[in-house]
């Protein structure tokens, strides 16, 4: 298993870093930092997936490889919503070079294909491994790292006036609260982890909002 994971990680790294070579000549290059993020995101998703697989009694090999390769073809499609199905196609060609059973390959590819919108593009039995790959992706997307990434992106693209920033953060808190209240992952352990991450983000942005509220010229009562 360790050797298979090592080969998969190397393939993921290579394929993502060659993404610009596959783009049309007139296409906008993919930033190096975006490719770096995609690779590191895939590693985190795989580690989350392993823990979920252990808790849910799922096939750890299928989950680990599905998580590692879930975004491998992200830069090969015109519409982002299609990147799960495209990633499954890219993954299958690679997986067939490994010492895996046909069932394992089919399960991995299905898990990758449906992780964006739940649609594989073909009929296949529902499997818990597919739910876990989707869950692990969502858990990392709402992690502490995503807060850092969002703040770094905001900083690079210019700061906002305080009042405007307060409005943005209020709306972000509202979206996160709605997500916490209405969005549920399909595995018990995945849903608990996801809720914990979203709750942390809400708490962080509420504290950030309090700091914005005192970013004003101080008033002194001299009476």
Residues of the domain holding 60:
2-140
140, 163, 198 - which closes a domain? 140
Predicted TM-score (pTM) of this structure: 0.91
Distance CA(69)–CA(189), nearest Å, equals: 22
pLDDT tens digits, one per residue of 172-222: 999 999 999 999 999 999 999 999 999 999 999 999 999 999 998 887 666
**For residues 80-109, average pLDDT:** 97
Domain match, 164 and 76 both: no
CATH number at residue 14: 1.10.3210.10
**For residues 71-84, average pLDDT:** 95
Domain match, 14 and 65 both: yes
Per the structure, the count of domains in the chain is 2
Runs of H (alpha helix) within the chain: 2-17, 19-22, 32-56, 60-68, 83-95, 102-113, 128-141, 144-156, 162-182, 188-213
Written in H, E and C, the secondary structure of 154-207 is HHHCCCCCHHHHHHHHHHHHHHHHHHHHHCCCCCHHHHHHHHHHHHHHHHHHHH
**80 falls within a domain:** yes
Domain match, 24 and 124 both: yes
Domain match, 24 and 126 both: yes
**29 falls within a domain:** yes
Domain match, 126 and 16 both: yes
Residue-level pLDDT at 220: 61
Domain match, 115 and 21 both: yes
91, 109, 140 - which closes a domain? 140
100, 116, 140 - which closes a domain? 140
What are all long-range contacts of 6-12, with beta carbons under 8 Å and residues at least 24 apart?
7/98, 8/65, 8/68, 8/69, 8/94, 8/98, 9/43, 9/68, 11/69, 11/72, 11/94, 12/39, 12/42, 12/68, 12/69, 12/72
pLDDT tens digits, one per residue of 132-160: 999 999 999 999 999 998 888 777 776 67
**What is the separation, in whole angstroms, between the first and last Cα of the chain?**
74
């Amino acid at each position: 298993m360790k050797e298979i994971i090592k080969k998969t990680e190397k393939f993921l790294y290579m394929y993502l870093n060659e993404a610009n070579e596959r783009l049309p000549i007139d296409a906008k290059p993919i930033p190096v930092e975006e490719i770096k993020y995609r690779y590191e995101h895939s590693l985190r998703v795989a580690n989350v997936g392993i823990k979920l697989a252990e808790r849910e009694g799922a096939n750890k090999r299928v989950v680990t490889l599905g998580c590692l390769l879930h975004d491998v073809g992200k830069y090969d499609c015109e519409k982002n919503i299609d990147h799960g199905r495209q990633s499954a196609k890219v993954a299958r060609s690679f997986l067939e070079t490994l010492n895996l059973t046909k069932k394992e390959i089919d399960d991995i590819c299905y898990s990758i294909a449906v992780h964006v919108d739940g649609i594989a593009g073909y009929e296949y039995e529902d499997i818990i491994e597919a739910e876990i790959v989707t869950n692990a992706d969502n858990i990392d997307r709402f992690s502490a790292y995503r807060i850092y990434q969002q703040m770094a992106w905001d900083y690079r693209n210019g700061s906002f006036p305080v009042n405007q920033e307060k409005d943005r953060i209020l709306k972000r808190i509202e979206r996160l609260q709605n997500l916490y209240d209405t969005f549920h992952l399909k595995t018990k352990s995945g849903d608990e982890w996801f809720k914990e991450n979203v709750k942390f983000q809400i708490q962080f942005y509420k504290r950030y909002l309090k700091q914005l509220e005192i970013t004003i010229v101080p008033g002194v009562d001299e009476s």
